[in-house]
A and B are shown apart, each in its own frame.
Chain A
Amino acid sequence: AQSVTQLGSHVSVSEGALVLLRCNYSSSVPPYLFWYVQYPNQGLQLLLKYTTGATLVKGINGFEAEFKKSETSFHLTKPSAHMSDAAEYFCAVSGGHNFGNEKLTFGTGTRLTIIP
């Protein structure tokens, strides 16, 4: 079974500051990891994903995340926050290629607020 923990249900950063959203996972098999973003009153859209290969993954809108197996983490970062980054962010894990990979387990989400 897989699980995801997102530390901090609310994060506020100043415009232009570093964004760091934390995600730790638990999985008994090599995981696939995802970050999704949800803007108000919309569905979720994919920011980035890690499946295999390079552990530093770049996504849309200047976001990136690093898979650290030893720390079971997949934290999301962006060097300089923009007002348009205000949204809710969800980390998700699936069980990899050969084990229940058809299902995602989501974290509880982190709401990001950008301070002008």
Chain B
Amino acid sequence: NAGVTQTPKFRVLKTGQSMTLLCAQDMNHEYMYWYRQDPGMGLRLIHYSVGEGTTAKGEVPDGYNVSRLKKQNFLLGLESAAPSQTSVYFCASSPGGYNEQFFGPGTRLTVL
């Protein structure tokens, strides 16, 4: 099993450009999450999904959109990138309940 994979691993954008980050999991997990990690701030939840076709806002959702059209995929979109969105983005999945979350390797995004 590949677990949780993220595409791409690195990306550089100019201000105002758009992009989509793809997260895929092969563990048949119901729950999926997008976080951003910034120095000294830990991980902050952007959006999450509790099942196919559902999405919900997390702690820092502004400037991002998500979609969960298939159970195994969770997409994070930036419609108009800003330098403040420079960060490392992590996707995670979980079976739910009191089980732990499984994390992908991350995407390092730089917005110039």
Contact = CB atoms under 8 A, between A and B. Distances in A.
Nearest to B38: A108
Given A101-B97, A102-B94, A102-B96, A108 B58 contact: no
A102 B42 contact: no
Which of B4, B42, B92, B94 has the most chain A CB atoms closer than 10 A to its own CB? B42
Which of A32, A34, A46, A103 has the most chain B CB atoms closer than 10 A to its own CB? A103
Contact of A43 (B41, B94, B100, B104): B104
A103 B58 contact: yes
A44 interface: yes
A44 B103 contact: yes
A36 to B, nearest CB: 8
Contact of A34 (B4, B90, B100, B104): B100
A70 interface: no
A45 B43 contact: no
Given A43-B103, A103-B45, A106-B43, 6 more contacts: A32-B98, A46-B102, A97-B97, A101-B96, A104-B101, A106-B42
Given A106-B43, A109-B42, A42 B105 contact: yes
Which of B45, B92, B100 has the most chain A CB atoms closer than 10 A to its own CB? B100
A82 interface: no
Interface of A is mostly: loop
A94 interface: yes
B48 interface: yes
A108 B98 contact: no
A108 B101 contact: no
Given A45-B103, A102-B31, A103-B58, A108 B41 contact: yes
Contacts of B44: 106
B98 A43 contact: no
A101 B40 CA distance: 25
B42 A108 contact: yes
